[in-house]
């Protein structure tokens, strides 16, 4: 669920989101994938071009309640599964081809590539997520939330639909996650603790998206 691309480097300062909590500041450079943790301070907050306040999280000591009831499985048609194969190939090519330090930004751009398309329905989003997870079992490499959510966004774009791709931060402990949401912003085929994440990047760019912004972009 966590993903930290990039190593020790200087923040590029061109596309940085500052996720700010009461006692910690998370700097995410979406140009390089470099992530830094710093004590919360005005100086640290000023390093980001966009500041996103993090929701307060009650102490959990790294544990979460998990439902004992298994969710019902989603029946995915052959058409979606075949499309998932193509979406996975496109995502893997973007992941593998090019400089390693730009891998994160390439996947972010790919996940946001269908931003101008009509929005996907909740049913279409579920089909895309489940189809990608089905084919992802065959990938003999690291293929976590960032890669899977990007492939699901690509699959929806191939179907002519915009994916509400999300990237966000949660605290206690600090962790990053990427997922697909429905048109109302609800996580699709995700565990309940996904609600703990505050969105820091969407197809509309840094920061949480608003429906008004999306409507204005389309007009």
Global pTM reads 0.84
Contacts of 219 (CB under 8 A, 6+ apart): none
**Looking only at Cα atoms, what is the longest distance across the chain?**
52
For the stretch 129-145, pLDDT in tens is: 999 999 998 887 778 99
Q: 168: burial class by Cβ within 10 Å (0-12, 13-18, 19+)?
A: buried
Distance (Å, rounded) from C-alpha 25 to C-alpha 38?
5
Q: Find out whether 95 and 103 touch, Cβ atoms under 8 Å.
A: yes
For the stretch 60-86, pLDDT in tens is: 555 555 555 445 567 889 999 999 999
Predicted confidence (pLDDT) at residue 57 exceeds the cutoff of 80: no
For the stretch 86-122, pLDDT in tens is: 999 999 999 888 888 788 999 999 999 999 999 999 9
Q: Find out whether 178 and 3 touch, Cβ atoms under 8 Å.
A: yes
Pairing type for strands 50-53 and 175-181 reads unpaired
């Amino acid at each position: 669920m966590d993903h930290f691309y990039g190593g020790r480097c200087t923040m590029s300062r061109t596309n940085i989101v500052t996720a700010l909590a009461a006692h910690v500041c998370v700097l995410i450079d979406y140009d390089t994938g470099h992530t830094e943790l710093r004590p919360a301070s005005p100086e640290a907050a000023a390093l980001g071009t966009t500041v996103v306040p993090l929701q307060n999280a009650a102490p959990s000591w790294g544990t979460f309640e998990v439902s004992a009831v298994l969710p019902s499985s989603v029946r995915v048609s052959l058409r979606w599964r075949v499309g998932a194969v193509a979406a996975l190939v496109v995502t893997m090519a973007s992941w593998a081809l090019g400089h390693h330090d730009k891998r994160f930004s390439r996947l972010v751009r790919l996940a946001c590539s269908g931003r101008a398309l009509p929005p996907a329905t909740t049913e279409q989003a579920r089909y895309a997520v489940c189809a990608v997870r089905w084919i992802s079992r065959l990938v003999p490499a690291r293929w976590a939330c960032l890669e899977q959510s990007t492939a699901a966004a690509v699959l929806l774009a191939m179907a002519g639909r915009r994916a509400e791709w999300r990237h966000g931060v949660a605290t206690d402990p600090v962790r990053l996650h990427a997922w697909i949401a429905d048109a109302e912003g609800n996580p699709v085929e995700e565990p309940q603790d996904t609600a703990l994440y505050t969105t820091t990047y969407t197809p509309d760019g840094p920061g949480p998206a608003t429906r008004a912004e999306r409507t204005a972009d389309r007009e």
